[in-house]
Structure 1
Amino acid sequence: MLYSLHVKNLALIKEQEIEFSKGLNILTGETGAGKSVVIGSVNLALGGKADPSLIRTGEEYALVELVFGVDSEEKKKLLQEMDIPVEDDGTLVLQRKIMQGRSISKVSGETVTAGQLRDISNILINIHGQNDHQELLHKKKHMEILDDYCADELSGPFCELKTVYDRMRDLEKELSEVHIDENARLREQELLEFEVGEITDAELVAGEDEELESSYRRMTNSRKISEAVGNASMLTGGGDEETAIDMIGRAVREMSSVSSYDKEIEGLLEQLSDVENLLADFNHAVSGYLDDLEFDDEKFKTVEDRLNIINHLKDKYGQSIELILEELEKKQERLDVLTDLDAHREKLQKELDESRSKALLLCKKVSDIRKKGAGELAGKLKSALIDLNFLDVQFEIDVRSDEDKISARGYDDVEFMISTNPGEAIRPLDQIASGGELSRIMLALKTVVADRDDISTLIFDEIDAGISGKTAWKVSEKLGALSRDHQIICITHLPQIAAMADSHFMIEKGLEDGRTVTNIYGLEGDSSINELARLLGGDEITDAAIKNAKEMHQMAEDAKRG
């Protein structure tokens, strides 16, 4: 559940904190007092779009902080899989700091992305905004709602269907590409034959270009190499004048003449003798290298020609021999196709027919699950709608299948159908429902779905749009029933709904240091009754309004106990 909301420097809010309770939390206040800012701040903390204009005038930043309590082991496991830290007692702190040009989001002190926050919110909370019920006018939403209801059964078939459908689309694309006229086929075949022959004739060997380039570098620099190595040979021992090996030999003799006088000199002499031997070996190796360094014009021409061939192929087909050989394989495969195009078309068509047959079987499996779920969901929604004062409602979920409209989600078209008056034919939802009816249908959906999912906190922003009187009381009772197993946070203008509150909060504008501020505080006892009276009768709170408010509050208490 959501323990608390802390807001600082956001819009008209200087700094406020709300501590929510279990059950039904109601927020009331005059229009324009800032009720929507409260819901907006929750959205911000959960990764919503951060608008710097929301920062309170004159302040450098705005801050929103949510404190959740996570008591479900399944939720804790999901959060841990996302590398989200949860305290031992289940506490999870979400914080969003909004500054000009950027924002910083943290969870329990660790920085996270806005995307991660949204993933977390899907686990912890469900927010229903003022206009969300309008989505019910779109058939696409009907499909989403039904698929969410059947999610456990659909996940496996959806995964299989996507694989088969993707393969089917690939085959369709490949088949369309081989439908070319004969002249185009011959031109492409002729070019491929030339390219395949050009690469094949080169008889490329992986790695040979590196060896050739090394030989080419050595041969093109042979004069410079010969001079440098020859000088080294002369200096170390291959010259007529005194060389390094001569001087070290003399040094060895000098040390040998006195080595018998001191054992330490024997060690030094041994080291010097090793140097003499190493230098002699080096000089011998250098001499051999110089003997082999003869420049061979014919060999040089052979290496140069071979490199030219390889580099030409690299320019055309790939920057390495490995890539050229891969390109050869692709071109050979395409050439084989063009050589016997009719057989290839038949093969592709057979694979496509098989894939389509598999896709149709999976689509039927998905459709059967949807139709079964549609019956269950429609029945539950009808019962929930009756509870919300749809006295003679008929509600069906129409699942229509079309084998010519296969997709990765099946071949169904889903539409909500409703009749709200006796004798009236059942028709698509968007042709009948008013704004008030849509908000009640959405509440019915939330009620039904809440029994299946594990989200403990639901937020409703003016779910009471377009309703009043007895219907408002039915909505209030439904929210009260829903709050027995879920934490509900609800913004409302209706006294019938406010009366059902387990915790009641007032949002109002005021002046502080000459500036407008939004204040939020809890209402209890008489203060809550007075707010109900204001909602019932307007700004002037009369004795009659107070009496009505008390009666309404008592009715709500009786309903909750019932």
Structure 2
Amino acid sequence: MLYSLNVKNLALINEQEVEFEEGLNILSGETGAGKSVIIGSVNLALGAKADSSMIRTGAEYALIELAFGIKNKKQLEILKELDIPVEEDGTLVLQRKIMESRSVCKANGETVSAKQLRELSNVLINIHGQNDHQELLHKKKHLEILDDYTGDELTKLKEKCHDAYAEWKAVLKELEDTNIDEREREREKDLARFEFEEIDEAMPEVGEDEKLESRYKKMVNSRKIAEAANIAANITGAGDSEDNAADAIGRAVRELTSVASYDDKLEELLDELSNIDNLLSDFRHSLSSYLSDLEFDEEDFRTTEDRLNILNHLKDKYGGSIEAVLSYRDEKEAEIRKLEDFESYRDSLFRNEKEKKDRLLKLCEEMSKIRRESAKKLAEELKKALIDLNFIDVIFEIAVESDEEKVSANGYDEAVFMISTNPGEAIRPLDQVASGGELSRIMLAIKTVVAKKDDIDTLIFDEIDAGISGHTAWKVSEKLGMLSCDHQIICITHLPQIAAMADAHYEIKKSTHEEGGKERTITQITKLSEENRVYELSRMLGGAEVTDSVLENAKEMMKQAKSVKKR
């Protein structure tokens, strides 16, 4: 559940912290008080697109912080897969700092990406915005809701279907590419043969270019190498110079040898010098051998240079390495075989396409069967939920329509929500019948039913009560109260019937105060006491002033709500 929301320097909020409770949390206030900022701040903390214009005027940054308590094992597993750190007691603190040119996101103090936060939003909170119920006018949303309700069995099939569809489309693309005339095919074959033969005749070997580069580099710089090596040879005694290190060390060895027997220390020094003499002797032999190998003729140089040019040309043309060149040659060889036996190749593609499509359609058929079975169950549950929401004589069905010509990665089904809200009226698609208020209640019914199947603890409703009033508002209030028995609900509302059902009630209002010598407007959120709840309900009930009769009405409404919650 969501423990708390902390907002600083965001829009009209200076600094505000709200601690939420289990059950039904109600947010209310006058129009324009800033209720939408609260939902917006939650969305921002969960990775929604941020804009520097959201930062409160005069502030350097805006800060939003959400603190969650996570007990659900499946949620914890998903967070681990997303590499999101969670405390041992299940505490997760998400923080987003929005600055002029960038924003920084953190989870329990560790930096995370906005993408990770967005993925989290589908795990921790389900947010229903003011206009989300309008999505019910689109058939695509109906199938999405049905699939969410159906669950894991369908999800696994959808993954297989997605892969099968991609494979089928790939074969179709290959077939489409074969729709060329004879002349074009001959041109492609000639080009493929030319490129294959150009590489094959050169017979490049993996690693050959590196060896030649090293050898070529040595040849190009041979004069400098020879000069330096000869100087070193003369100095060390490998050359013709009489004044060299080898002779000098030899004389030193002879001198120490003549007196070494007089002192043990001299014996040790003589051993060290003899080792140096031996090492220098080995070095002279190695250097002499190197100098003899350094010699080469011009023909050898040209041969090396020409071969390097051929290899570099092939790498430039067909890939950045010999491995890539050889791989390209193999591709061209396969292409030549394909073009030489073109009809056979096309026949194999047709067979492959049929196999891929048959497999895809079989998966679609399995998905369709599961959807139809699930649609009956969902329709029954939604009908019960709608009756609870004052759709007394409602008929509700979900039609699953299949069309092989419309196959996609999601199968070949369309789901259509069908409804009749009045006796004697024919059942028709939802978008042809439902009003705005009815759509709000239908969406609440859907959220209520689907919430039983998912692992999300916290549901946020931004004015789910749009377009309803009177007895229907009480029914919506009761439904939210029932839903809050198993979930934490945070609900923004204008209706006193819904507010009366609250387990915790927060008032959002604007006020002004002096800041930097100027009057500034701020939005404040206050948790209401039992007494203040009565006054807020009285305000929501309407009227120019709060009279004793309005107060009594508010108290009666709260008493009635408590009675409903006990039931």
Q: Same fold (TM over 0.5)?
A: yes
Give 1:552's aligned residue.
557
Q: 1:534 to 1:317 in 2, by over 3 A?
A: closer
> Residue 517 of structure 1 corresponds to which residue in structure 2?
522
Alignment partners' CA distance in 2, 1:32 and 1:171: 56
1:231–1:557 Cα change, 3 Å: closer
| Residue 117 (structure 1) aligns with | 117
Whether the 8 Å contact between 1:147 and 1:370 is mirrored in structure 2 is yes
Q: Aligned with 2:26: secondary structure?
A: strand
Percent sequence identity is 62
Question: SS at 2:437's partner residue?
Answer: helix
Show the counterpart of 2:365.
364
Give per-residue Cα distances to partners, 1:301-350, cap 9 Å, x unaligned: 43333333333333332333222211110110101100100000001110
Matches within 5 A, 1:529-548: 529-548=534-553
User: C-alpha deviations, 1:417-464, integer Å up to 9, x for none?
Assistant: 111111111111111111100100110001001111121111111111
Report the equivalent of 1:80: 80
| Contact 1:154–1:369 (8 Å) recurs in 2 | yes
SS at match of 2:406: coil
One-letter amino acid matched to 1:556: A
Cross-structure match for 1:184: 184
Residue of structure 1 in register with 2:533 after alignment: 528
Q: Which residue of 2 aligns with 1:418?
A: 419
Change (3 A) 1:133 1:257: same
- Partners of 1:367 and 1:245 in 2: how far apart? 92
1:329 aligned residue: 330
* TM-score, scaled to structure 2: 0.94
Structure 1, gaps ≥5 residues long = none
Q: Given residue 108 of structure 1, which amino acid in structure 2 is its aligned partner? A: N
Instruction: Assess, with a 3 A threshold, how the Cα gap between structure 1 residues 108 and 311 changes in structure 2: closer, same or farther.
Output: closer
CA distance in 1, matches of 2:292, 2:300: 17
| Preserved contact between residue 222 and residue 295 of structure 1 (Cα < 8 Å) | no
Q: Matched residue of 1:538: which SS?
A: coil
TM-score by length of structure 1 reads 0.95
Amino acid at match of 1:561: K
Pairing 1:252-271 to 2, within 5 Å after superposition: 252-271=253-272
Q: Which residue type is aligned with residue 523 of structure 1?
A: L
Amino acid at match of 1:113: S
Distance 1:440 1:316, change over 3 A: same
Identify the residue that residue 347 of structure 2 maps to in structure 1: 346
1:391 is displaced (CA, Å) by 1.4
**1: CA distance between counterparts of 2:299 and 2:523?**
92
Deviations 1:498-528 (A, max 9, x none): 1111112222222323332222222233322
State the number of aligned residues.
562
User: In the alignment, residue 411 of structure 2 is paired with which amino acid?
Assistant: G
Give the corresponding residue for 1:493: 494
Q: In 1, are the aligned partners of 2:9 and 2:59 still within 8 Å (CA)? A: yes
**2:47·2:115 contact (CA, 8 Å) conserved in 1?**
yes
In structure 2, how many angstroms separate the alpha carbons of the residues matched to 1:111 and 1:371?
A: 44
290-299 vs 114-123, greater mean Cα deviation: 290-299
Taking the aligned partners of 1:215 and 1:22, their CA distance within structure 2 comes to 77
Matches within 5 A, 1:87-126: 87-126=87-126
Change in CA separation of 1:234 and 1:504 when aligned onto 2, cut-off 3 Å: closer
Structure 2 match to 1:503: 504
Matches within 5 A, 1:196-345: 196-237=196-237, 238-239=239-240, 241-345=242-346
CA offset digits 1:90-144 (Å, max 9, x no partner): 2222222222222222222222222222222322211111111111111111111
Give how far 1:240 is off: 5.0
- The letter for the 2-side match of 1:77 is E
Say if 2:10 and 2:62, in contact at 8 Å, map to a contact too: yes
Letter in 1 for 2:35: K
Q: Note the C-alpha offset of 1:292.
A: 4.1
Give, in angstroms, the shift of residue 81 of structure 1. Answer: 3.1
C-alpha distance in structure 1 between counterparts of 2:34 and 2:325, whole Å: 67
> 1:189, CA displacement in angstroms?
1.3
SS at match of 1:96: strand
Q: 1:63 to 1:295 in 2, by over 3 A?
A: closer
CA contact under 8 A between 2:235 and 2:241: conserved in structure 1? no
Q: Which amino acid aligns with 2:486?
A: D
User: How many Å separate the matches in 1 of 2:305 and 2:125?
Assistant: 71
8 Å Cα contact 1:26-1:503 kept in structure 2: yes
Whether 2:488 is the aligned partner of 1:483: answer no
- The question of 1:436 aligning with 2:441 is answered no
The question of whether the paired residues in 2 share the 8 Å contact of 1:69 and 1:90 is answered with yes
**Against the structure 1 CA distance between its residues 95 and 298, is the aligned structure 2 distance closer, same or farther, given a 3 Å change threshold?**
closer
Q: Which residue of 2 aligns with 1:159?
A: 159
Find the residue that maps to 2:22 and give its secondary structure.
coil
CA-atom RMSD in angstroms: 1.9
**Structure 2 CA distance, aligned partners of 1:229 and 1:262?**
40
Matches of 2:317 and 2:78 in 1, distance apart? 51
Q: Secondary structure at the match of 2:31?
A: coil
CA contact (8 A) 1:392 1:420 kept: yes
Q: 2:273 is paired with a residue of what secondary structure? A: helix
CA distance in 1, matches of 2:212, 2:96: 61
SS in 2 for 1:404: helix
Shift of 1:227: 3.5
Change in 2 beyond 3 A, CA 1:258/1:150: same
SS in 2 for 1:454: coil
Please give the alpha-carbon distance, in whole angstroms, between the structure 2 residues aligned to 1:143 and 1:560.
34
1:533–1:208 CA distance, 2 compared to 1 (3 A): closer
SS in 1 for 2:405: coil
Contact 1:84/1:107 (<8 A) preserved: yes
> Take 1:498 and 1:107, find their aligned partners in 2: how far apart are those partners?
33
Q: CA deviation at 1:66?
A: 2.0
Relative distance call for 1:57 and 1:314 in structure 2 (3 A) is closer
**Residue deviations 1:160-206 (CA, integer Å, cap 9, x gap):** 21222111111111111122111111112122222222222222222
